[in-house]
Structure 1
């Protein structure tokens, strides 16, 4: 990572990229299908019983059309499936397949190992402090008038 005079959002982005690079390369080396960052984020945002494409789009922060494309690519990879919503005949839910759950569990185990490598490199106390800082309640985002 390059730590020139980067601001915190840039450092967060570089750190996320470091984790994703390690995760995606490790998963591909283990023989898993390659996925994009957006495709990977879908798994963390799905409810166990399924989630609509519209709700996924809101959670990811993309348009419904983009979410639809991402979901259908993952359906084509046999990682997600569409099922009728038992609460509404007009809605379709997206949920993981058995293969999708297997891949997601493998990714979670891989992330745990990557976190342990980070702890070896920067220290377990630093990783724990980082985790506590990132999970602290930061409150609502402030509305700041530029000087």
Structure 2
């Protein structure tokens, strides 16, 4: 049951993002939590490329579904105070990239979305990791705040 729940939630969360969500913009805003990449590859090829990039960066997979073209990583230590997990969903030539972070002793059920804006301004360290993954994947990046729907 649990195996089917995560892909269903990812599919339901991702479909509105592409279909009716806020229009992605070219420059990221401090509240943005989603990177949408338009890639030359599509479907399985884009999904496999995303998996390869994440493995090369040291991530292990918590969930991966080749039929839904979705995957998520286990939480990995990113800094001394932050563990992050990355979610990927591919639809055609578009790849949705999001992350969650845990700080301190926060339980996974209270993970926070990785947003561009840092605590005291500037860019959050966790967001720089999402952008690094996006840069390795290539393509054209656009950004939006999924909570702004």
Q: Structures share a fold, TM > 0.5?
A: no
**More contact order relative to length (CA 8 Å, sep ≥ 6):** 2
- Report which of the two structures shows the higher radius of gyration computed on alpha carbons: 1
Higher helix share: 1
Higher strand share: 2
TM-score where L is the length of structure 2: 0.28
